[in-house]
Each structure stands twice: as structure tokens, then as C-alpha cells.
């Protein structure tokens, strides 16, 4: 067959083979394990669609004597009920399959928010059912699409409190509720669904900006007061905890006072959802990683993009899952993380702590495909 007519599918398979060939530095056993896992990913069929999930290579853990660990991240599934839209449901199933195939299994899985599209009980319950099939322990975070129909009643009933922290292998983890909005609905006499749909619009200009809010900041200050400043800190938030682009609410309005609470710690990583794209930033000692969605990729904001961000390629408009995926984090013994973006139709991209710290070392590969 002429190279000119090589199908997209064939090209993906060739790239996968190339990735595997590039792993020759791994031990024989490690190589076989990755090969088998990738073959399993390629062979899986869900909803009649063949899959080409590229699985990540453990980086931090590859060093002898490394005492790091790994956790996985799934986010922004935006589920409607299956009878309304089954594509997003298949997206979440695919992510769960990806994570369940990880070997070894991650220590836990963080769900990064926007499980539902319109905060309805049926959507949240469907998400809960699917996430229950994860083998690893699950930690939940809330997004605005989960919240603004009933201001969190159903979400709390299913998943517990929206603000919590836990310690794991020497790292202090904090899960925030960063999509609080000041009341814009009472005066305008909006119904709960009108309020939900207003928040669900990306750029309608009718809502307020996201914030952690006074109560959330007080909770965070109290929580962190108990933690030694030398303890590595990983903070989960749905919105980025900085100010990127206000018109789309890629934004946290009280970012400065929240960052001030994190600043005294020596090593801080913030991992967020909401922006549905590879997004990298560092402000002082705080490393920020924006994660992928299982539903759709957002375009990059027209201004305000952090200098460190290496933009992911433009998604293929004819492939609804292109630009989507899930991810995982290798946590180094020093508490900083390598973020691995597991794009379903492309090779994984790793944004390492060393790149975020220096802006130079271990720079992720730049765009190789300029769009379609």
C-alpha cells in the first residue's frame, strides 16, 4: 500500500510500535510487561469501537531504591444519562478500564470533578456506579457541573464532604472545593436548573467567578496549620488555583490568598481539572498541572496562557475522543510529581517536575502534528 494512503488507524499502530521500540532501556521484564499491557489496550473493544490506549511507562519508580509511588487521575466526564448521550459514558468506562489495567495498580485514583453535566441525581448516580468498578481506592473532588443544581446536596450524599485532606506515604494531600460562586441567582429569581445551566455555559458572562471562598480558605488554613512546612503538599482543585482567563472561568478569584497559604511549604503541587487540556504553570514554589477530560478537549484560552505550557496538538475534529484521556502521577521521594498525560489516541506526554522547576530540563516534546 502506498504510504500516501496510510490510514490514521495504521499510523497510530505504527506510532505505538515505535513507542514500544523506544523502551529498550527498560529491563527485559519491564519491557514485556509494557508490551503486554499495550497489546491488551489495543485489543479491547467497548461499544464497538476499537481502542488504542497508550499506557504510561513508570519513570520515577524506574530508579533503583526509589521510594516514590503512583496515583491515577480521571476527570471531567460530564455524564448525561446514557439514553441522552452514551459517548461520554463510554469515555468514563474507557478511563476506568485504562486505570484498572495499570500494573502495578496505582495507590489510589483521584476523580477531578465534573462527573455530571447538569448536576442531576441520575447523572451523579451513573458516575458513581461506573467509578465503583475501579480496583484502586477512589477519592472524589467536586466540579461546578456537579454542584449548581442543588448546591451539593446529592454530591455530598453520594461522595461525602467536599473539603478533606489525607496523608499518604509522607505526602499531605488536600482536596478543595474551588468552584464556589457568589449568589447571582436569588435576585434574578432563577430556578435551580436555570442556575445550573448558567454555570454550565463556558462564556455566558452571567455568572460570577469561581473561588475557594472565605469558609474554604479558613478550612485550608486550619488544615495546613497542623502540617510541618517540610512536608510535601499536593493540592487537588477543580479550577486552576491561579488566574488564567476570566471570561471562561479558567480562573480562581481568590487565587492570591490561597497561594499565600501554600507558599510557606517547601514543595507544593496543585493538580486541577476543568480546563480539559495539558496545562503547566509554576508560581514561586507552587507547581501546577491541568489534566485531561474524558469527554472533550477545550481549546486553549486566547490569552493568559502560562509560559511553561507546551500546548497539546489540535484535536482531530473527526475523532470525538481525540484530545481526551486520563492520567497518572509519579510522586518522587521529595514530594514533587511527574505528570503523565495518557492521551487515548496519541503517545503519552510526561511533564516532569524537573521541567516545571527549571522551564528547560526535560522539556516535553513540542507539537509534532500540526492538526488535520
Can you tell me which of 56, 68, 127, 143 binds Fe ion, judged by CB under 5 A?
143
274 contacts Fe ion (rule: CB under 5 A): yes
Sole window of 61-69, 135-143, 263-271, 341-349 interacting with Fe ion (rule: CB under 5 A): 135-143
Of the two residues 175 and 347, which places its CB atom closer to Fe ion in the complex?
A: 175
Q: Is 114 in the site for Fe ion (CB under 5 A)?
A: yes
CA-wise closest residue to 51 among 88, 93, 18, 23: 93
Pick between residue 88 and residue 265 the one whose CB is nearest to Fe ion: 88
CB of 307 to Fe ion, least distance (A): 24
Count the site residues for Fe ion by CB under 5 A: 5
Contact 348, 341 (CB under 8 A): yes
CB 112 within 8 A of CB 236: yes
Which residue number, 12 or 248, has a Cβ lying nearer to Fe ion? Answer: 248
Smallest distance, Å, CB 240 to Fe ion? 11
Query: Which range of residues in 43-51, 114-122, 181-189, 206-214 is near Fe ion by CB under 5 A?
Result: 114-122
Strand-pair partners of 234: 173, 269
Closest distance of CB 36 from Fe ion, Å: 33
Q: In angstroms, what is the minimal distance from the CB of 68 to Fe ion?
A: 29
Task: Return the number of the residue (97 or 144) whose C-beta is nearest Fe ion.
Answer: 144
Interacting span for Fe ion (CB under 5 A) from 12-20, 28-36, 38-46, 111-119: 111-119
User: Pairing between strand 109-111 and 69-74?
Assistant: parallel
Buried b (16+ CB within 10 A) or exposed e, 153-177: ebbeebbeebbbbeeeeebbbbbbb
- Tally Cβ neighbours within 10 Å of residue 17: 12
Of 178, 353, 346, 355, which is closest to residue 275 (Cα–Cα)? Answer: 178
φ/ψ region of 53 (left if φ > 0, alpha if ψ in -120 to 50, else beta) reads beta
Question: Which of the stretches 19-27, 38-46, 69-77, 314-322 binds Fe ion when contact is defined by CB under 5 A?
Answer: 69-77
Q: Does 123 participate in binding Fe ion (rule CB under 5 A)?
A: no
C-alpha cell at 139: 477519592
Binding range to Fe ion, per CB under 5 A, among 29-37, 44-52, 169-177, 274-282: 274-282
Q: Among 76, 97, 146, 338, which residue interacts with Fe ion (rule: CB under 5 A)? A: 76
Which string of b and e fits 82-106 if b means at least 16 CB within 10 Å?
eeeeeebbbbbbbbbbbbbbbeebb
N-terminal to C-terminal alpha carbon distance within the chain: 21
Q: CB–CB of 34/55 below 8 Å?
A: yes
| Shortest distance, position 200 Cβ to Fe ion, whole Å | 9
Q: Which is nearer to Fe ion, 60 or 92 (CB)?
A: 92
Report whether the peptide linkage leading into residue 159 is cis, meaning its omega lies within 30 degrees of zero: no
Give the shortest CB-226-to-Fe ion separation in angstroms. Answer: 30
Binding residues for Fe ion (CB under 5 A):
76, 114, 143-144, 274
Amino acid at each position: 500500500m502506498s504510504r500516501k494512503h496510510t490510514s490514521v488507524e495504521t499510523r497510530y499502530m505504527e506510532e505505538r510500535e515505535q513507542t514500544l521500540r523506544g523502551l529498550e532501556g527498560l529491563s527485559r521484564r519491564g519491557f514485556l510487561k509494557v508490551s503486554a499491557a499495550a497489546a491488551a489496550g489495543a485489543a479491547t473493544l467497548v461499544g464497538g469501537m476499537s481502542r488504542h490506549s497508550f499506557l504510561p511507562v513508570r519513570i520515577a519508580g524506574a530508579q533503583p531504591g526509589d521510594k516514590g509511588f503512583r496515583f491515577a487521575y480521571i476527570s471531567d466526564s460530564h455524564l448525561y444519562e446514557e439514553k441522552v448521550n452514551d459517548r461520554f459514558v463510554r469515555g468514563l468506562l474507557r478511563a476506568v478500564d485504562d486505570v484498572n489495567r495499570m500494573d502495578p495498580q496505582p495507590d489510589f485514583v483521584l476523580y477531578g470533578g465534573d462527573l455530571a453535566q447538569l448536576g442531576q441525581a441520575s447523572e451523579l448516580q451513573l458516575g458513581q456506579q461506573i467509578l465503583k468498578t475501579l480496583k484502586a481506592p477512589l477519592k472524589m473532588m467536586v466540579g461546578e457541573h456537579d454542584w449548581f443544581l442543588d448546591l451539593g446536596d446529592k454530591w455530598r450524599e453520594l461522595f461525602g464532604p467536599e473539603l478533606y485532606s489525607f496523608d499518604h506515604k509522607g505526602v499531605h494531600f488536600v482536596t478543595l472545593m474551588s468552584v464556589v460562586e457568589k449568589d447571582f441567582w436569588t435576585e434574578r429569581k432563577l430556578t435551580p436548573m436555570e442556575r445550573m445551566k448558567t454555570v454550565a455555559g463556558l462564556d455566558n458572562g452571567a455568572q460570577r467567578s469561581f473561588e475557594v471562598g472565605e469558609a474554604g480558605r479558613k478550612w485550608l488554613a486550619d488544615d495546613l496549620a497542623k502540617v510541618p512546612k517540610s512536608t510535601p503538599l499536593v493540592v487537588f482543585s477543580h479550577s486552576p488555583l491561579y488566574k488564567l482567563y476570566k471570561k471562561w472561568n479558567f480562573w480562581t478569584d481568590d487565587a492570591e490568598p490561597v497561594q499565600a497559604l501554600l507558599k510557606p511549604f517547601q514543595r507544593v503541587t496543585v493538580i486541577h481539572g476543568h480546563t480539559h487540556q495539558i496545562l503547566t504553570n509554576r508560581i514561586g514554589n507552587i507547581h501546577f498541572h491541568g489534566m485531561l477530560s474524558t469527554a472533550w478537549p477545550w481549546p486553549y484560552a486566547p490569552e493568559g496562557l502560562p509560559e511553561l505550557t507546551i500546548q497539546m496538538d489540535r484535536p482531530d475534529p473527526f475523532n470525538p475522543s481525540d484530545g481526551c484521556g486520563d492520567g497518572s502521577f509519579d510522586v518522587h521521594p521529595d514530594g514533587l510529581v511527574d505528570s503523565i498525560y495518557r492521551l487515548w489516541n496519541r503517545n503519552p506526554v510526561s511533564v516532569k517536575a524537573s521541567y516545571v522547576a527549571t522551564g528547560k530540563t526535560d522539556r516535553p516534546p513540542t507539537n509534532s502534528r500540526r492538526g488535520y
